[in-house]
Amino acid sequence: MALTVLCACNDSEERIVRKADKIHSSILTVDTHCDTPLEFGEQGFDIGIWNNTGCIDFPRMKAGGLHAEFFAAYTAQGPRNDSGYLKANNRALSLINQIYENVDKYNSMAEIAYTADDAYRIKKSGKIAVYIGVENGYPISRDITKVKDFYDRGARYITLSHTRNNDICDSSNDASGAEHNGLSEFGKQVIQEMNKLGMMIDVSHISDKSFYDVLALTKTPVIASHSSCRALCHNPRNLTDEMLLALKENGGVIQICILSAYLITIEDDPEMLRSLAELNSIYGNYDTISDEAKKNMLREEYRDIRKRYERHATVSDIVDHIDHVAQVIGIDYVGIGTDFDGGGGVEGCKDASEMKNITIELLRRGYSKNDIEKIWNGNIMRVMRQVERAAEKS
């Protein structure tokens, strides 16, 4: 009898895996946030081959059934003065140029996408759709014309802030506290300009007050490109249930971030803290150091220390957050934003080649193909189309 039960379980699991394969071959799958452009220029990294470092490259996307990716042009927050703004703007533009160069190099494998419809067309052609996002509005400085500059260069969302306050709004993680009490006056101009152009407004990383200010002002639905649920993991980067309800009223979508610190509560290991403190003594504080030093920390020592000591979340934890959103506001408002190469990755889904494991867990929990399609593309593409249409009417 035990052998019969075991065989039945194995058959059931094999059927689920086959069903996940069929689903991924028949629907579009979209990840709304990765920091893989930071890997460009790293010795040995080539987006057109299967790499042993990083989380995303085109072959691993193919293996995992991932068809469309938003590549972030990320800039760390620096001094808010003319030289700081110039450096940040140049950095963001350089990363965008590198995205184009890498896609052009492998134009038989991938293509830049600009509209929601582009991703479906590109998938049909057998290629990967590459979207561009700007993470952190810091490179805009106080110059509203730079919003259009980024749009014209292909960026289809801007994450308004990162781990510190900027000229647009307050961050959820700035240790100094609120500076603008939400959106600044300049930030209000940015929201209006993004509405006008047809750029999605990304509310990940911004403070709760900034979030509500954005929803009160925007004429279009917003996205949280890589955020999770505060009810399950009390991190200020995550959205509360009240914020989820407001997001539903706005018509927006939360893309679940698969970074362990945003999925589960992790008790800091004293030995890990000591090792990180030693690292800070060499490079300086993580939030204030240069991009080059941060790259070294994130890509090498910092990542190694975290890997050695931290308890990692699992695919089951990802789907717990999807479950929570579905229960609080419904299946029409949730998707996936991995934050791969920016810290994202869990046991069972450490890189793009393992993306189907999320679908397998969704099937285990009884989600239908229609539900899964909404999670992987329907919800985010609905928002993108609404933003596009609003711009056409303005």
Instruction: Tell which phi-psi region holds residue 257, choosing left (phi > 0), alpha (psi between -120 and 50) or beta.
Output: beta
pLDDT over 90 at 55, yes or no: yes
By the 10 Å C-beta count (0-12 exposed, 13-18 middle, 19+ buried), 125 is classed as exposed
Q: Which residues contact 44 (CB under 8 A, 6 or more apart)?
A: 51, 53
| pLDDT digit string, tens, across residues 117-143 | 999 999 999 999 999 999 999 999 999
193 φ, ψ (degrees, to nearest 5): -70, -40
Q: If you average pLDDT over every residue of the chain, what do you get?
A: 93
Length of the chain: 394
Q: What is the pTM of this model?
A: 0.90
Short-list 167, 157, 165, CA closest to 135? 157
What pLDDT score does 147 carry?
98
Q: Quick check: 246 and 212 in contact, CB under 8 A? A: yes
**pLDDT over threshold 50, residue 5:** no
pLDDT at 87: 97
What's the pLDDT tens digit per position in 61-101?
999 999 999 999 999 999 999 999 999 999 999 999 999 99
- The dihedrals phi and psi of 278, each to the nearest 5 degrees, come to -65, -40
Q: Is residue 57 a contact partner of residue 51, using CB atoms and an 8 Å limit?
A: yes
Q: What is the pLDDT of residue 290?
A: 65
pLDDT at 273: 78
User: Regarding predicted confidence, which is higher, 12 or 230?
Assistant: 230
DSSP string covering 308-335:
HHPPPPBHHHHHHHHHHHHHHT-GGGEE
Q: H or E stretch including 256?
A: strand 253-256
Q: Please name the fold of domain 28-266+311-393.
A: TIM Barrel (3.20.20)
Give the tens place of pLDDT for each residue, 30-49: 999 999 999 997 888 999 99
Mean pLDDT of 369-378: 98
Cα–Cα distance for residue pair 325/141, rounded to 1 Å: 34
pLDDT in tens, 266-314: 776 787 778 778 877 777 666 566 666 666 655 567 767 766 766 789 9
State residue 106's pLDDT score: 98
What's the CA gap between 24 and 15, in Å, rounded?
14
DSSP collapsed to 3 states, 183-250: ECHHHHHHHHHHHHHCCEEECCCECHHHHHHHHHHCCCCCEEEEECECCCCCCCCCECHHHHHHHHHH
Residue 159 is classified by DSSP as E
Nearest-angstrom CA–CA distance, 178 and 174: 8
Give the whole-angstrom CA distance, residue 145 versus residue 13: 53
β-bridge mates for residue 334, sequence order: 254
E strand or H helix at 70: strand 68-74
Rounded CA gap, 301 and 307, in Å? Answer: 10
Q: Which two tokens stand for residue 310?
A: 């931290």
Give residue 42's pLDDT: 83
Q: Which of 163, 111, 128 is nearest to 287 (CA)?
A: 163
More confident residue, 280 or 56: 56
pLDDT in tens, 333-363: 999 999 999 999 999 999 999 999 999 999 9
